[in-house]
C-alpha cells in the first residue's frame, strides 16, 4: 500500500526439523511466559547488535536459531550465521535508494528479496551465495503497479503481489526459485474495493502454507478482507474480517497460517495516536470465516508468527510491543514492550523479530 509503502503467514524456510524432546521443552517454556516478561529464566527477546541504527527492518526470514536474514531501508540486507553474534552486510550493490520490505530465505546461501514502490522501484533480487552476489530477476515496468509482499510454497514456486491494477490485485509468479517471474492472468481475481490495497509493513500481507494455498491481506477499503487461493494464485475468493477498516491507515497488516486451515490475522490502525480495537482475528476453515479475538492485542500489530510444533501458541508484534496467544488466537497478552515490525520462527524454534533503529532480536530462555 502506498500510504505505508512511502514511509511483512507463515514464513517458509524449507527445512525439516524433528520436534524432539529439546523442541518440546523449549516450546513449553515459551508458552508459559508470565505477565512479568523479563523475569530471570523467562523467555524474552534478546537484542542482537546489528550496527545499523538508521535502518528499519521490515523484512525478516528465520532459517534457524543460528541463521537469519533481515532486509530494510536504504537497500540494506544483513545475514547472521552465528545466532546474531555478528552480522554481515550483504546488500545488493546499487540498491541504496530502494526500500526492502520482504525477504524469503531457503537456507544460509539462497534468498529472494523484494523492494517496494511505484513503477521501477518494485524489484526482486536473488542470491545463491549468501549475498556475495545478487541478480536482479524482476523490475516492474507498469507505473500503476506497486508490489508489497512475496511468499514461497517451496524452493521453486513462489508469488508476489501488487496493489490493484485496473481494479484487481496483481499476482506475479515464479517456478524456478525466483530466477524469472511472470504476471498471472487476472480473470480469477475478484474486484478490489475502492481504496483497497496491501500493507508493506512486515512482509506478511501475502503468506502460504503447503504446496498450493496462499492468502492475501488487505486494508484501506470499506472492509478489511483476506483473499484465499488454493491453486497457487490462479483463482481467489474473498472474505471479510472483523478487523476495522474504512480508512487508508486501517486493515489487516499480517497473516500467519500454521497449516492450510488454521490462520491468524493482525492489524488495526498504524497511526500512533489512533486506537486499534479488534486488532486480531482467527480462522479454522482456511479463511472462509474470521472470528474476532475475545481479548485482542491492545494496539496495532504489524507481524505475526506461529510457534513451531504448537497448535495453539503464536506471537504478534508491533511498534508498542509483543503479544502471545496460547489458545489459538482467542486471547492475547502483552509479554514485551519493545518496538518490532515483523516476527518469524524457524522449525528448530529459532524465533526472531526485527524493526526500527536496526533492532533485531532472538527469543531466548
The DSSP secondary structure of 114-145, one letter per residue, reads EEEEEGGG-EEEEESSTTSS-EEEEE---TT-
Question: In whole angstroms, what is the distance from residue 55 CA to residue 88 CA?
Answer: 14
| Residues linked to residue 306 through DSSP beta bridges, in sequence order | 314
- What sign results for the dihedral spanned by CA atoms 346, 348, 349, 354? negative
pLDDT in tens, 261-309: 999 999 999 999 999 999 999 999 999 999 999 999 999 999 999 999 9
Which of the 8 DSSP states describes residue 247?
A: S
pLDDT in tens, 227-265: 999 999 999 999 999 999 999 999 999 999 999 999 999
**Confidence at 365, pLDDT banded by 50, 70, 90:** confident
Question: Residue 128 contacts by C-beta under 8 Å, 6 or more apart in sequence?
Answer: 109, 110
> Given strand 225-229, what is the order of strands in its sheet?
206-209, 213-217, 225-229, 237-240
* H-helix or E-strand spanning residue 174: strand 168-174
* CA–CA gap between residue 264 and residue 256 (Å, rounded): 5
Secondary structure class of 4 (helix, strand, coil): helix
* 308 CB-side CA count, 13 A: 29
What is the DSSP code string of 74-99? Answer: GGEEEEESSTTSS-EE-PPTT-TT-E
- Whether this prediction's pTM lies above 0.85 is answered by yes
Averaged pLDDT for residues 221-229: 98
Region 333-345: mean pLDDT is 97
Query: pLDDT band for position 43 (50/70/90)?
Result: confident
The per-residue pLDDT of the chain, averaged, comes to 91
Cβ atoms 147, 133 nearer than 8 A? no
Q: Tell me if 245 sits within 8 A of 275, measured CB to CB.
A: no
pLDDT given at position 3: 43
- How wide is the angle at C-alpha 177 spanned by C-alphas 216 and 185, nearest 5°? 50
**Region of poorest pLDDT, from 34-43, 78-87, 242-251:** 34-43
Q: Tell me the three cell numbers of residue 156.
A: 521453486
In angstroms, the CA 149 to CA 233 distance is 14
The confidence score (pLDDT) of residue 139 equals 98
Is residue 51 predicted with pLDDT exceeding 80?
A: yes
What is the C-alpha to C-alpha distance for residues 60 and 202, in angstroms, rounded to an integer?
Answer: 8
- How confident is the model at residue 42, as a pLDDT? 58
pLDDT for res 78: 98
Q: Is the pLDDT of residue 316 over 50?
A: yes
**Distance in angstroms (rounded) separating the CA atoms of residues 43 and 353:** 14
Amino acid at each position: 500500500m502506498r500510504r505505508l509503502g512511502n514511509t511483512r503467514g507463515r514464513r517458509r524456510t524449507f527445512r525439516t526439523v524433528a520436534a524432539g524432546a529439546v523442541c518440546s521443552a523449549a516450546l513449553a517454556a515459551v508458552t508459559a511466559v508470565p505477565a512479568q516478561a523479563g523475569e530471570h529464566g523467562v523467555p524474552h527477546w534478546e537484542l542482537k547488535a546489528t550496527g545499523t541504527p538508521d535502518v528499519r527492518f521490515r523484512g525478516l526470514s528465520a532459517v534457524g536459531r543460528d541463521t537469519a536474514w533481515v532486509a530494510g531501508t536504504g537497500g540494506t540486507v544483513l545475514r547472521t550465521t552465528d545466532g546474531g553474534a555478528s552480522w554481515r552486510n550483504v546488500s545488493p550493490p546499487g540498491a541504496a535508494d530502494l526500500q526492502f520490505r520482504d525477504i524469503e530465505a531457503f537456507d544460509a546461501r539462497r534468498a529472494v528479496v523484494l523492494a517496494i514502490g511505484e513503477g521501477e522501484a518494485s524489484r526482486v533480487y536473488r542470491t545463491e551465495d549468501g549475498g556475495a552476489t545478487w541478480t536482479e530477476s524482476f523490475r516492474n515496468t507498469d507505473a500503476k503497479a506497486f508490489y508489497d509482499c512475496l511468499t514461497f510454497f517451496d524452493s521453486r514456486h513462489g508469488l508476489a503481489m501488487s496493489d490493484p491494477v485496473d481494479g484487481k490485485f496483481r499476482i506475479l509468479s515464479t517456478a524456478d526459485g525466483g530466477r524469472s517471474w511472470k504476471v498471472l492472468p487476472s480473470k480469477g481475481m475478484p474486484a478490489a474495493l475502492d481504496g483497497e490495497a496491501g500493507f508493506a509493513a512486515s512482509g506478511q500481507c501475502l503468506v502460504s502454507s503447503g504446496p498450493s494455498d496462499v492468502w492475501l491481506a488487505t486494508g484501506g477499503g470499506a472492509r478489511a478482507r483476506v483473499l484465499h487461493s488454493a491453486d497457487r494464485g490462479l483463482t481467489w475468493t474473498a472474505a471479510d474480517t472483523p478487523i476495522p477498516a474504512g480508512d487508508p491507515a486501517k486493515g489487516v497488516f499480517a497473516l500467519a497460517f500454521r497449516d492450510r486451515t488454521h490462520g491468524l490475522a493482525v492489524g488495526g490502525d498504524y497511526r500512533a495516536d489512533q486506537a486499534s480495537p479488534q486488532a486480531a482475528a482467527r480462522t479454522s476453515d482456511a479463511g472462509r470465516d474470521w472470528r474476532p479475538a475475545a481479548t485482542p492485542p491492545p494496539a496495532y500489530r504489524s507481524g505475526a508468527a506461529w510457534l513451531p510444533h504448537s497448535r495453539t501458541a503464536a506471537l504478534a508484534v508491533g511498534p508498542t510491543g509483543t503479544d502471545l496467544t496460547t489458545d489459538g488466537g482467542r486471547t492475547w497478552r502483552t509479554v514485551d514492550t519493545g518496538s518490532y515490525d515483523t516476527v518469524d520462527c524457524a522449525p528448530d524454534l529459532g524465533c526472531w523479530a526485527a524493526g526500527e533503529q536496526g533492532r533485531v532480536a532472538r527469543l531466548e530462555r
